Structure 1
């Protein structure tokens, strides 16, 4: 009864750690030991391990604990020894003691041969597990190398993608600069067109003003000529009146003519008186009749002479009037002829000036058209040369990119070849004995240190494949042989030579791309289309 109480106390204490035990214990590991201790029958083992209803490991561990709890104190001791053997940390946590590994239960039950058998089985399991781990390590190594190859390919693709992106960026920048230049040229052309239109309007306004001034000058000239003609006409009329006044008879001549007239009148009166006296004395004598006849004839003749003189003077006066009228008409016609001649000369000069101006405008227009054609020809020639230079620059850039791509492909091929050599070295057969296993384990532990160092170096150098393979080959150079060293030296020299050539070409290209008017320093590391990691591997 006391033993049963102790068994219950032990299992009750163990129940406090049931959740931890179920979550940690693997029934397949401790069942062989429990079977050797004869606390677990084959049927119970078959039920725990192969029951279809027990799929989860935790349920299997719970059923195993229930089965062992039915065996009592013996099952408790066997279970604790299995924990001491397989789960020492859990045993220390449950009991608070260090595992002693006495195995008293199995020695009492099956003897030392049973313990040896259990230990041998465990050693065989461990060896199979070690072999499995080695196989997995080799598979992981192969997988790691395949991932390294993939990483190299991705690096090359990334380099190509960066090259294409940089080229697209350069083309975009060129497009933006050309669009800015085009907008600038359009603005300049628009401003020039505005200034040309403004100057044309100013020139047209100046020409119109000049034409108006010329018309005013011509009108003033015409008015001046009319005034001169009127002045001449008035001067001639004044001279004519003055001449007429000068030719008019003087007062003495008029007085003499009046005296003559009075004498003639007096004589006429006397004659009439005499006639009257003769008529009175006609009857007296015949001689008086003859005298009267003579007198009458004389008077008649005198009258005829006076009438003739009067008519002649009248005709003379009329002729003088006609002469003066015709002289005035002649003068007027001469003045009109002179004014018309001057007008014709003025219009002739004006027409000649207009024709001369038209000829000058035509010559200026021809000169402007010729200059414009020359400018157009020069501009088209400059455009053709610029397009040719741009095409040449684009072809050189494409050729440079193609050479860079070829360089990257050659480097990737070189890296792939080096990776294949490394893989062939790592896939050499290994011995299977325990001593060889321990030595190979030691060698793997020793080789992991430089491998980790190499991984750190790769991380520090941005995972560059060239440095990774170079470090791997340096670590295994003792096993590779003299042929491999010679091959690597030649490859390294070739890579350095290509790197130097590309670096010189990149600097020349950067110097060509720098504008002349810019005074800031050029960053030689960033002027080319790629970073230093693309060509130098660092």
Structure 2
């Protein structure tokens, strides 16, 4: 009774220690990793496993771990020891933190419950699981390498596209710079054209001003000539008029002098003749008659003279008038002739100027046409040269793009060849790994047969010892195959993975090598079991 109470107290103490770490256990443990070992130790039944995995209320992993701990707590010390051994196998750091001991991996509960065959079966299942994990890891590694190769191809393609885009951007930048340069040249030429047009307009205005001033000067000269001719004609008329007046006065004075001289002669003649009274009377009477008759004649003569003088005066007036009119008409005629001559000269000058202007215009038009033709030819040559330069630049860009594409294709072909080579090596490695797993299974089956026949006879034990020797003889071949496969994997790893990913991959391959080393140790187990005395179960006895 006291022993049972002591056992119950011991169980309560053990599980009370685990209760302190319950939250850590629930947070850390994965049920799928420890349930196979617990099932092999027979502390967990299939119903309990079904409850843990298929209960709809146990969807969360932490709840599953809590239910698993409750089920193990009902099994007592056996469940406690099996749980600690599972932690020792799968969670060594957690085991060391709970117990304060280093993991020893003695599998006492498994050996007590299932025997060495159960341990071997468990180890085989673990090896199979690890091989599956290795295969899965290898498959993931191959997929990752394929994805890396695809990503490398895409990266190279993107680099090629980036280079093409850079070339296109450089070409666009060159075109923009050329456009800006041509725009600046066009603006400069436009400014020069505006300045030339301004200068031409200013010169034409100056020329027009000079022509207008020249025309004004010519008009002033013509006016001065016209005034000079008018003055000459007026002076000529006045001169002629003064000459006629002078001649008329001279003629009139000569007539008066002649008349006075004739009267003086008559008076002198009458004074010189001797007279008698009768004669004087008669002469007086004759004289009176003569006087009367002379007076009458004189009156008639005077009247006729007056009429003649009047007619003469009128005739002279008419003559002078007509002469004046004639002179005026002659003057007008000369003026008109001079004006016509002046206008004729002016028209001739204008026609000469027009001819000169037409010649200058034709010359300017011809020079302008030649200049335009030369400019058009230069522009055509310039456009042709630019077109040739653009075509050569496009050809150069196309050749560079083709070069980049061919480089990308060469790199992609190299990657494809490398991937094919790696897949070929990986297939060889899988074949060697399948062969090694088949050898391990054959060795484990032989080990089970040897453990069953150990208690029958000593002769079979010697045969088992021979079997161990044969296994030792066959082991170097297996090691050699493992070394070849590991070397192949290392080579494939160095070829496919970059330098930054190699340490982790080396870790995986070291793990693979360690996993392959476990079955080799299991092969030697039958030879070592012959000389053991069951001291391996001392740890389990201590727990008991």
TM over 0.5: yes
Distance 1:244 1:89, change over 3 A: same
Q: CA deviation at 1:219?
A: 1.3
Distance 1:22 1:133, change over 3 A: same
The superposition leaves residues 467-515 of structure 1 with CA deviations (integer Å, 9 ceiling, x where unpaired) of xxxxxxxxxxxxxxxxxxxxxxxxxxxxxxxxxxxxxxxxxxxxxxxxx
Is 1:364 aligned to residue 364 of structure 2? no
Going from structure 1 to structure 2, the CA distance change for 1:166 and 1:274 (only over 3 Å counts) comes to farther
Displacement after TM superposition at 1:308 (Å)? 5.0
Aligned to 1:46: 50
**Which residue of structure 2 aligns with residue 354 of structure 1?**
350
Aligned partner of 2:336 in structure 1 is 340
Higher mean alpha-carbon deviation, 407-416 vs 59-68, is at 407-416
- Work out the CA distance in 2 between the residues paired with 1:43 and 1:216: 141
1:374 CA drift (Å): 1.7
Query: In 2, distance between residues paired with 1:257 and 1:322?
Result: 31
Q: Map of 1:6-405 to 2, 5 A cutoff?
A: 6-243=10-247, 248-249=253-254, 256=261, 259-260=264-265, 263=268, 277-278=281-282, 296=289, 300=293, 304=297, 311=304, 314=309, 324-405=320-401
**Alpha-carbon deviation of 1:106?**
2.9
Change (3 A) 1:253 1:49: same
Q: Shift of residue 83 of structure 1? A: 0.5
Once the two structures are overlaid, the 10-residue window that deviates more, 2-11 or 415-424, is 2-11
Quote the residue 2:412 is aligned against.
416
Mapping of residues 521-532 of structure 1, within 5 Å: none
Query: Taking structure 1 as reference, are residues 83 and 317 closer, same or farther at Cα in structure 2, changes over 3 Å only?
Result: closer
CA RMSD of aligned residues (A): 3.8
Deviates more, 1:423-432 or 1:78-87: 423-432
- Normalising by structure 1, report the TM-score: 0.70
Q: Gapped runs of 5+ residues in structure 2?
A: 437-477, 502-544
In the alignment, structure 1 segments of 5+ residues that lack a partner are: 279-287, 457-538
> Cα deviations across residues 396-447 of structure 1 (Å, max 9, x unaligned)?
2232233223323332332233222212211222222264345433543466
1:222 is displaced (CA, Å) by 0.9
- The structural deviation recorded for 1:7 is 2.8
Contact 1:275 1:292 in 2 (8 A): no
CA distance in 2, matches of 1:242, 1:420: 142
- Are 1:440 and 2:485 an aligned pair? yes
Q: Could you tell me which residue of structure 2 aligns to residue 494 of structure 1?
A: none
Q: Deviations over 1:123-150 (max 9, x none)?
A: 2322222222223222322332233233
Closer, same or farther in 2 for the Cα pair 1:72/1:327, shift >3 Å? same
Distance 1:198 1:316, change over 3 A: closer
C-alpha displacement of 1:241 = 4.5
Cα pair 1:30 1:82 within 8 Å, conserved: yes
Q: Report deviation, 1:369.
A: 1.8
What is the alpha-carbon distance in structure 1 between the residues aligned to residue 50 and residue 483 of structure 2? 36
Change (3 A) 1:149 1:322: closer
**Is this contact kept in 1: 2:88–2:104, CA < 8 A?**
yes
User: Structure 1: how far apart are the matches of 2:33 and 2:255?
Assistant: 183
For 1:195 and 1:166, how far apart are their aligned partners in 2?
42
Q: Which has the higher contact order (CA 8 A, sep 6+)?
A: 2
Matches of 1:15 and 1:211, distance apart in 2: 130
**Structure 1 SS opposite 2:138:** helix
> C-alpha displacement at 1:74, in angstroms?
2.3
Pair 1:142–1:324, CA change in 2 (3 A): closer
CA distance in 2, matches of 1:212, 1:265: 80
Flag the 1:380–1:275 CA change in 2: closer, same or farther, 3 A: farther
Measure, in 1, the Cα distance between the counterparts of 2:119 and 2:278: 226
Counterpart-to-counterpart distance in 2, 1:264 and 1:337: 58
Q: 2 CA distance for matches of 1:215 and 1:455?
A: 105
Cα distance, 1:294–1:253 mapped onto 2, change above 3 Å: closer
In structure 2, what is the equivalent of residue 480 of structure 1?
Answer: none
Give the Cα separation in 2 of the matches to 1:344 and 1:274.
84
2:421 corresponds to 1:425: yes
Q: Deviations 1:232-286 (Å, cap 9, x if unpaired)?
A: 3333334444555666349987874563475589799x99x989934xxxxxxxx
For residues 111 and 330 of structure 1, the distance between their equivalents in structure 2, rounded to whole angstroms, comes to 176
TM-score by length of 2: 0.70
Q: In 2 relative to 1, CA 96–241 (structure 1 residues): closer, same or farther, beyond 3 Å?
A: farther
